[in-house]
Structure 1
Amino acid sequence: MRFVSTRGVSAPVSLSAAIAAGLAPDGGLYVPEMLPAARRWRVGSCLADTAAQVLAPFFADDVLAAELPAICAEAFDFPVPLRPFGADGDYLLELFHGPTAAFKDIGARFLAATLSRLRRAENRPLTIVVATSGDTGAAVAAAFHRQPGLQVVVLYPDGRVSPRQAHQLGCFGDNVQALRVAGSFDDCQAMVKQALSDADLQAQRPLSSANSISLGRLLPQMSYYAHAALQHQAAGRSALNLVIPTGNLGNAMAAILARHVGLPIGRIALATNANDVLPRFFDGQPYQPCSSVATVANAMDVGAPSNVERLRWLYADDDEKLRAAFTCHAVDDAMIRATIASVHARTGEAICPHTATAAKVLQDLRVQGAGGDWAVVATAHPAKFEAVVEPLVGHAVAVPAPLAALLQRPAQAEPLAADYAALRAYLLR
């Protein structure tokens, strides 16, 4: 299978080339030249088995095709349970059981496993530059830490991630450097995209990306939706509907692609925070990126979601058809806090602020008469947001062992201006 740019200018490339590059030369995002035909899928014995099956058509004819099962086994070695969540027909899809307690571990570990294999034939080190609004950077740092021939530079908005997220970002050292940027996530993302498109910089220091613009992160995220939906179907239940918290739209895009290739996924509803560029678009307004605002669900503080390019490509730039395919809902900070409190009162469970946006949307959908089985996608462990969650649930949230181990390490991040020239100078230093 070959991959092309959403902007249609760059020449088609192999999957390995697309993963290594991160961003297409014309500034677009890589997408399959043609999606695999829909088919009947079978549930695997474990997540890695399902993943290898679902991703095999995308890896067809690629140099990594034979290694795909081993890559999946290496990356997907922790559970992603789908379990009941309160009322009958409501479920929680828990994606936070990896080493940094966020769903980003899944795509980041897969990307690291692929790039480490591709780098074996290269003599020069590759630098992964990644912008993060909270969880991506730590997942990428953990996945690439001490990987030979690979260096990582993480940009995050100073003061706009939780204290525990900031600690994770700066606690690795070795081949991982954290930069705290005096700006927003959108500033960080724009700087990373500019670096990836800088041919002169690339000639001096080869770069790639680990943001959700990378196919190496996007495609493997299809796997947990496939595994959950197929398990649900095998249990004799109806097609699984999803409510997905989304910021940069990568997690949602993976579910949308999974549904397009025939996996038994029903309706998809998107949940955002007060950064409502997507809800306004789905309500019929022109797509208009804007400056992001800080919220308690900080990993979704995105005003210019990159994967909109992929979403519009999938629907051939037919915005009306796209709007008819999904719903998208904004949840402000007050509603996020109220939902964390009400879910705990009703079920005894603590959920993170991002998961709370999806839980609130599902509550509203049920009030409006939505039937069927629905899964709230739980993207991060609540212990990462203790300052928000614990006052609302009235007790301390237990910290998972892998996260506790990271929090015991010393952490350090270097300040950086929200200016591409400053980033370029840093990378060439």
Structure 2
Amino acid sequence: MKLYSTQNHDLKVDFATAVFNSMPLDKGLYMPVHIPDLDQEFINNLDKFTLSQIAYKVASLLLRDAIPLEDLQHIIDDAINFEAPLVPLQEGGDTYVLELFHGPSLAFKDFGARFMSRIMAYFLKDNEKMLDVLVATSGDTGGAVALGFLGVPNTRVTILYPKGKVSEIQELQLCTNGQNIHAIEVDGTFDDCQSLVKQAFADEELNKKLRLTSANSINISRLIPQTFYYFNAFAQLKRQGKENVVFSVPSGNFGNIAAGLLAYKMGLPVKQFIAATNINDTVPRFLETGVYETKSSIQTYANAMDVGAPSNWVRIMDLFGNDQEAIKDIVKSYSFTDEDTLQAIKDIYEKFSYVACPHTAIAWLALQTYSTDAKVESKEAKVFLSTAHACKFPDIFPEEIKAKIEIPAQVNSLFSKEKKATAMDTSFESFKEYLNGY
């Protein structure tokens, strides 16, 4: 498998190099030189395969000769060992929620983080230089990465998160692990955290001293396993005799929907993708005006989506040859306020007795808006992605709804652990000094 930089298609590297470098020095992102087409027979018979079997088929096509097939099967079996069920909102209806929070950190990012950590462990050789994994998080990425890499030999993970802008449970998932996991509480926004990570990768002095890589969705090994659940959702629909599917995706850094679009390019027959955002609306504004203008992120109830400069949008543009009209044909995008989000949480509960986290509620809202705008036919299967367990956001819900949330055992155990985090400002000099102190 060969990959190029979105900044320079002539710059080509192998998969292991892309995984460990994470981001080319030219500040582009790695993309596959060749996106393989899944054979039509496999697509036609998706309903006959399990999630694990689908994951193996998709990964083996994308990675090809990068990893021996037997080893790849072992990695998938170890990493993707939980389900992603498609749940109808009401019996006999055509709207479904794809629950992606059944992994150990209770967020969809377990798919990417667990797969990536095992890929990196596979490629690491004994006695090699310590691998320093840097990750910026606006909510759930850090917890998934922490659990994915906890105890992995010869690795050290540094997680940067914005002070006061993640929920209590999300923060505990970052700061109570110990061992090889280190947390930094940055007095700024997620975009500040992401900027520090990107500056570290571009710093020649740091790269000579440390072996740096990223666990953010800028890493291609995060993107690949996220395609699995789109294929698996389609398989679950196909078992019910439904194939005409629309996906509504909560979108912050746009890695989640980028994975869906990669699946689409591989042959998954999706009718429409919807990028659902909070008031951090860089992409909705771009699709409406044609002007791509980032802005400082604004804190919302859907904190994992508080991104003003989404890194993965460049991947989506690259997938479609920078053709804005082609993207607009397959991607619609809508943004919503905190007030909209709270009302949606109440509406979903009152109408369907379903408790949705704020990110999930925004995806549902976008699906409703699209259905109205596009006059969607009833025969279509409308799927919105649930990216995190509702228990992570207890302060958002009214008491009646909050009382219905079942708290998983792994969450209850967090409150008895000691929290450890290093406070830091937003200057790169401070972060560089911290890393040089390792």
The reply to whether TM is greater than 0.5 is yes
Alignment partner, residue 29 of structure 1: 29
Q: Deviations over 1:63-106 (max 9, x none)?
A: 45541111110111111001111371100100001111100111
Change (3 A) 1:390 1:49: farther
Corresponding position of 2:429 = 421
Q: Note the alpha carbon deviations across 1:152-201, whole angstroms, 9 max, x for none.
A: 00000000111111111101011000000011000100110111122321
Q: Pick from 58, 61, 70: which aligns with 2:62?
A: 58
Which amino acid is the alignment partner of residue 376 of structure 2? A
Please tell me whether the aligned partners of residues 279 and 298 of structure 2 are also in contact (alpha carbons under 8 angstroms): yes
SS of 1:93's partner is: strand
Give the Cα separation in 1 of the matches to 2:28 and 2:69: 25
Alignment of 1:73-152 (within 5 A): 73-86=77-90, 88-121=93-126, 123-152=128-157
1:248-304, Cα deviation, whole Å (9 max, x unpaired): 000000001101111132211110001011110111240001000000000000000
Aligned twin of 1:283: 288
Candidates 176, 180, 200, aligned match of 2:185: 180
**How far apart in 1 are the matches of 2:410 and 2:35?**
37
- Which moves more between the two structures, 234-243 or 387-396? 387-396
Q: For 1:10-29, list aligned pairs within 5 A.
A: 11-29=11-29
Contact 1:390 1:396 in 2 (8 A): no
Q: Deviation at 1:388? A: 0.3
**Would the alpha carbon gap of residues 413 and 240 (structure 1) be closer, same or farther in structure 2, given more than 3 Å must change?**
same
CA distance in 2, matches of 1:158, 1:331: 24
Give the aligned partner of residue 394 of structure 2.
386
1:46 lines up with 2:54 in the alignment:
no
SS of match in other structure, 1:155: strand
Partners of 1:282 and 1:266 lie apart in 2 by: 18
Question: 1:17-416 counterparts in 2 under 5 A?
Answer: 17-40=17-40, 41=42, 42-43=45-46, 45-63=49-67, 65-86=69-90, 88-121=93-126, 123-368=128-373, 369-371=375-377, 372-391=380-399, 393=401, 395=403, 397-416=405-424
Q: Distance in 2 between matches of 1:166 and 1:19?
A: 26
Tell me how far 1:116 sits from its aligned partner.
0.7
Percent of residue pairs identical: 35
Letter in 2 for 1:284: T
Higher mean alpha-carbon deviation, 147-156 vs 394-403, is at 394-403
**Number of residue-to-residue matches in the alignment:** 429
Residue 9 to residue 359, structure 1, CA distance change in 2 (3 Å): closer
- Provide the TM-score with structure 2 as the length reference: 0.95
**Runs of 5+ consecutive residues of structure 2 not aligned to the other structure:** none
Separation (CA, whole Å) in 1 of partners of 2:4 and 2:70: 23
Question: Structure 1 residue runs of 4+, over 6 Å off?
Answer: none
- Which of 115-124 and 66-75 deviates more? 115-124
Q: Secondary structure at the match of 1:213?
A: coil
Asked if structure 1 preserves the Cα contact closer than 8 Å seen for 2:132 and 2:211, the reply is yes
**Residues 268, 20 of structure 1: alpha-carbon distance in 2 compared, 3 angstrom cutoff:** same
Mean CA deviation greater in 10-19 or 244-253: 10-19
TM-score scaled by structure 1? 0.96
In 2: Cα distance, 1:77 partner to 1:403 partner: 19
Between 302-311 and 223-232, report the one with greater CA deviation: 223-232
Quote the RMSD (CA, aligned, Å).
1.6
Give the 3-state SS of the residue equivalent to 2:227 in structure 1.
Answer: helix
Distance 1:45 1:318, change over 3 A: closer
For 1:193 and 1:64, the matched residues in 2 are separated by: 32
| Partner Cα separation in structure 2 for residue 326 and residue 142 of structure 1 | 32
Corresponding residue SS for 1:279:
helix
CA distance, structure 2, for counterparts of residue 132 and residue 46 of structure 1: 31
Q: Residues 396, 338 of structure 1: CA spacing in aligned structure 2 closer, same or farther, 3 A cutoff? A: same
Q: Distance in 2 between matches of 1:360 and 1:391?
A: 22
